[in-house]
Structure 1
Amino acid sequence: MTIPPHIVSVFIGLVLATGWALHASRLYRRLDRSRHDPLTGLWTRDGWTRRAERTIARHPRAAVLLADLDGFKPVNDVHGHAAGDAVLAAAGERLTAWCGTHGVAGRLGGDEFVAVIDDDARLDDRLADLAKLLRQPVEHQGVTLTVSASIGAARLAALTEPTLSSALTAADQAMYRVKGRARRGRLLLAPAFAALRSLPQRMRLAA
């Protein structure tokens, strides 16, 4: 039986369309994977930026935060990179849980994380909760690993120019102010600890 030419043309068109759809689907999946950090599962800079832009466009009360892990380098130096990866993965999981359905988390690189949440009504309390989450110990191969975090945040509504770029700049400045206060605190405590260590053991116990 001879198949009419127009039927053959339709069939070939369907085959080609299906092939292109499959190709596009595979390409999209590869592109989507490239926008996720393989270690933490968080969005990378490009993927996060796209979603953050949409969030702040829809929610004028959105807030942006940056978090930098304190004490991460000693974990890497003392316990190795696998231990450092465990800490980063745990931080990514905790940040994702903290954001919930009201925010988007990302990893900018190294031990620096970023997030946007769609409402800043309880921002101060939520930042305190996040700091507590990130301080929780991480168990890795029988070793307890502990870091803390310096977190800076910016409310879009409080900025003269309520853009993502301005919010990131303000959050970065706030984060380094927090980090500076923590560093000054350690520097002030260090002489006291050094003096205590220099005392004879009996005096230390008595103290």
Structure 2
Amino acid sequence: MIRGSTLKFQNLFMRFLMAMIALIVLLQAVNFLAIRLTPYGTKFVFIPLFLGVVLGLGAAYYFARYLSDDIRGVLKKLINGARAAEHGEKGDPINLARHDEFEALADAINGLMDRDKAIRDANEDPLTGLANRRYIMQRLDYFIGQQVPLAVMFIDLDGFKPINDEYGHDAGDEALKIVAERMTACTRESDIVARIGGDEFIILFKGLEDEEVLKERADKVLEMVGTPMWIDGNRLRMGASIGIAVYPKDGEDSESIVNASDEAMYAAKQGGKNAYRFYS
């Protein structure tokens, strides 16, 4: 009697898991199309396609308390993998060493984690975790296509090369990471901070074109970048030269806006460094 009830429950449970696999495949397709066709979001914001999966697996785990320890252990691995993928974390692949519906579900989750990793690698600076040039230009193209007012702040670090030369590349890399964190702290949730190469950064201020507000933001960036940092017991300090360009006043497309901000940055650097200039 008990065995018959258990088998009946297990059969129902397996059907539930197969339905979850179908849901994952559907959400994966929707997520991929959303990213490719309507790139909403600011800092690598993807559709939370794993939310339903995590909730479903959580419910499955609750019911699985009545199953064997083996089944519960499998579900723990699946839930942890789904949660890691839902939060964009770089989780380890799920390896169940099974040949059943659980393994099919694990393969589906692994596939989604691989897809997220591929998207992340294509759009993210590997050192700082910021957006890269490709992503920032993509977002600029999109916002300009929607005629969204915006400002671009082009930032070149002053004093980075001496740090890199004197203290080594590891210290230089650590300095870049610290600067990236500080720049991010200066921005709103809707802004995008990108490292476009070497010691050059861009901040995209969506919906912001007021010159006085931009001056305040530039002053904040200069203050944060110029704050001394300690690396391997050494007190290091850098500055920044900043150029600011505004769409649509200073350009009609992403390339012209970035070029205008770049020109303004060089004007700031030639004027004595550790300053900002608006494109004119």
Is residue 124 of structure 1 aligned with residue 215 of structure 2? yes
Q: Name which of 164, 171, 178 aligns with 1:90.
A: 178
Is residue 105 of structure 1 aligned with residue 193 of structure 2? yes
* Residues 38-86 of structure 1 deviation map (CA, whole Å, 9 limit, x = unaligned): 2211011112222233344446331011100011011011111121112
The one-letter code matched in structure 2 to 1:107 is R
Which secondary structure state, in structure 1, belongs to the residue aligned with residue 125 of structure 2?
Answer: coil
The separation in 1 between residues aligned to 2:222 and 2:109, in whole angstroms, is 45
Tell which has more relative contact order, 1 or 2 (C-alpha 8 A, sep 6+).
Answer: 1
Q: How do 1:157-176 and structure 2 match up within 5 A?
A: 157-159=248-250, 161-176=251-266
The separation in 2 between residues aligned to 1:127 and 1:162, in whole angstroms, is 23
**Identity of matched residues, %:** 31
Can you give the 5+ residue segments of structure 2 that lack an aligned partner in the other structure? 1-17, 26-104, 274-280
Q: Runs of 4+ in structure 1 displaced over 6 angstroms?
A: none
**When the two structures are superposed, what TM-score results if normalisation uses the length of structure 1?**
0.74
1:179 alignment partner in structure 2? 269
CA contact (8 A) 1:69 1:111 kept: yes
The separation in 2 between residues aligned to 1:31 and 1:55, in whole angstroms, is 20
Residue 24 (structure 1) shift: 4.9
Is residue 133 of structure 1 aligned with residue 224 of structure 2? yes
CA contact (8 A) 1:52 1:104 kept: no
The separation in 1 between residues aligned to 2:185 and 2:141, in whole angstroms, is 21
Q: Name which of 154, 166, 181 aligns with 2:245.
A: 154
Higher helix share: 1
Can you give the 5+ residue segments of structure 1 that lack an aligned partner in the other structure? 1-9, 184-207
* Residues 151-184 of structure 1 deviation map (CA, whole Å, 9 limit, x = unaligned): 001011312x42111110100000001111116x
**When the two structures are superposed, what TM-score results if normalisation uses the length of structure 2?**
0.56
